[in-house]
Structure 1
Amino acid sequence: MIEFDANLKWLYTELPFLDRFAAAAADGFRGVEIADPYGYEPQTIRKALSSARLVLVLVNTPAGAPGSPTANGAAGVPGEEAAFRDGFRRAHEYAVTLGASLIHVMAGLVPVDRTRRAAAATLARNIEWALSHSDPSITLAVEAINRVDQPRMAWDDLEHAIETVELFEDDRLGILFDVYHAQRSGGNLLERLHAAAPQIKHVQVADSPLRHEPGTGEISWKAVFERLDRIGYDRWIGCEYQPAAGTVAGLGWRNNVDLIGGIR
């Protein structure tokens, strides 16, 4: 059954990080995703999850320091293969320890002095390495980031990300379909959801163009959720949006039948 989880990088930012778990549970979330858990020991996060009776859905691979070549991830950054492998090992440790079955592999920015072809080759090599160094219980997901917000991401096109996934013919690798990014980079959401369906491992939602909660922008959410149901998507949907007027005030959309149809 499809269920929403709270992305704790984007939601409950009014609270200290470790207080966000209990807040999410109090608002009815049963799962969370954490983009950057690495400032805390795994045991600390495990305690927060356990106390709130939450499932950890996914973690991202680490991003480097702001302004560094790997500030947006390292998987597609030529010359940063060692940084990617170190970061992936760390993400893998957190995922296994905390019970998350999904790792979002952050591609990173194509350096200004390197070509997209070089970045694509680096991505392929790093994905191959990561698959060969992953526990069978772990799935990897790649995400296309729109070119308006970030012009030089190594994965900046949904169809390119799908092609990358298909090359490996490995069910442990798939797509993180971010509805906001897909809308900002071409729209045509229903057909693209249908085309990506066999590779989708996770979905994230935010409205366009301001990246607030569903119902605040231009996306026809009921049609999106109906299409997800039609293609048989039965995994978590991550709430990765900037609340327009505070997290709790913006959660009513989850119960708005006109927006989400029969999805919880």
Structure 2
Amino acid sequence: MYFDAGLISAPPDDWAAGERGLAALPGREAGFRQSIETALVYADRLGCPRVHVMAGNAIAGAGRKAMRETYLANLAHAARRFADYGLTVMIEPINTRDMPDYFLTEQCAAHDLVAELGAPNIAVQMDFYHAQIMGGDVWTQFLAGRDRIGHIQIAGVPERHEPDTGELNYAWLFQQLNAAGYDGWVGCEYRPRTSTQAGLGWFAPWRVGPRGRSGGVKA
């Protein structure tokens, strides 16, 4: 496994106004397609292989069935556009504590969508922080969806600080990921307790040195 920034997010539209993506929102297809074109430009120029496409919040008057159909159609469009650039569409379940109205909240729902679409360049972005809040047993959840997981993110639970305290034993999880042959990226998406630099001490045992030792994790 590797620690690095191997992923960017497509524009979620008006974040300050509370929007959290467009992919599952009926009637917002034009805006979604524009966000995909913008993401393509950034991903191509940065050489970033994965783009997180946010589903968006549930909206009044739109049933979940209509939102799911819109989500599937938009994800299929994104997959077709990204395929020409060698990019992968990522979808991420987000917990209902941080985003109470977010459309996609469960790992199993994300895996069902990926399986239904059947596109080779759509995968699940599994954030252990979100997965722990939404049911726990994160290693079993990882194993259940292993073939459809293309990116992992981490944070301490429940405060979303550095992954060195809290409910999850990340040292054990990292060892399990290595033993399982996970060769993807691990993204750090947390709020530092103080400053970013001061909080990076947790990472020292996992840094790969000049000879490639210390945990087998590339910084």
TM-score calculated relative to the size of structure 2: 0.90
CA contact (8 A) 2:25 2:67 kept: yes
**Equivalence for 2:209:** none
Partners of 2:216 and 2:170 lie apart in 1 by: 11
Distance change >3 Å, CA 244–CA 67, structure 1 → 2: closer
Superposition map of 1:40-119 within 5 A: 57-66=6-15, 68=17, 71-119=19-67
**Equivalence for 2:210:** none
How far residue 197 of structure 1 moved from its aligned partner, in angstroms, is 0.8
Partners of 1:121 and 1:224 lie apart in 2 by: 35
How far residue 236 of structure 1 moved from its aligned partner, in angstroms, is 1.6
How far residue 72 of structure 1 moved from its aligned partner, in angstroms, is 0.5
CA contact (8 A) 2:132 2:138 kept: yes
Superposition map of 1:132-151 within 5 A: 132-134=80-82, 135-151=84-100
**Equivalence for 1:3:** 2
CA contact (8 A) 2:205 2:215 kept: no
**Equivalence for 2:215:** 262
Distance change >3 Å, CA 67–CA 114, structure 1 → 2: farther
Partners of 1:262 and 1:230 lie apart in 2 by: 11
SS of the counterpart of 1:133?
helix
- Residue type matched to 2:35 in 1? G
**Residues 222-253 of structure 1, C-alpha deviations (whole Å, 9 max, x = no match):** 22112222332112211111011211111111
**Residues 2-50 of structure 1, C-alpha deviations (whole Å, 9 max, x = no match):** 2212xxxxxxxxxxxxxxxxxxxxxxxxxx3xxxxxxxxxxxxxxxxxx
Partners of 2:64 and 2:177 lie apart in 1 by: 31
SS of the counterpart of 1:82?
helix
CA contact (8 A) 1:141 1:176 kept: yes
- Given candidates 110, 135, 153, the residue that maps to 1:186 is 135
Superposition map of 1:111-260 within 5 A: 111-134=59-82, 135-256=84-205
How far residue 263 of structure 1 moved from its aligned partner, in angstroms, is 4.4
TM-score calculated relative to the size of structure 1: 0.75
Percent identical pairs in the alignment equals 35
Partners of 1:231 and 1:77 lie apart in 2 by: 37
**Alignment RMSD, CA only?**
1.6
Flag structure 1 segments of 5+ consecutive residues without an equivalent.
Answer: 6-31, 33-56
- Residue type matched to 1:262 in 2? G
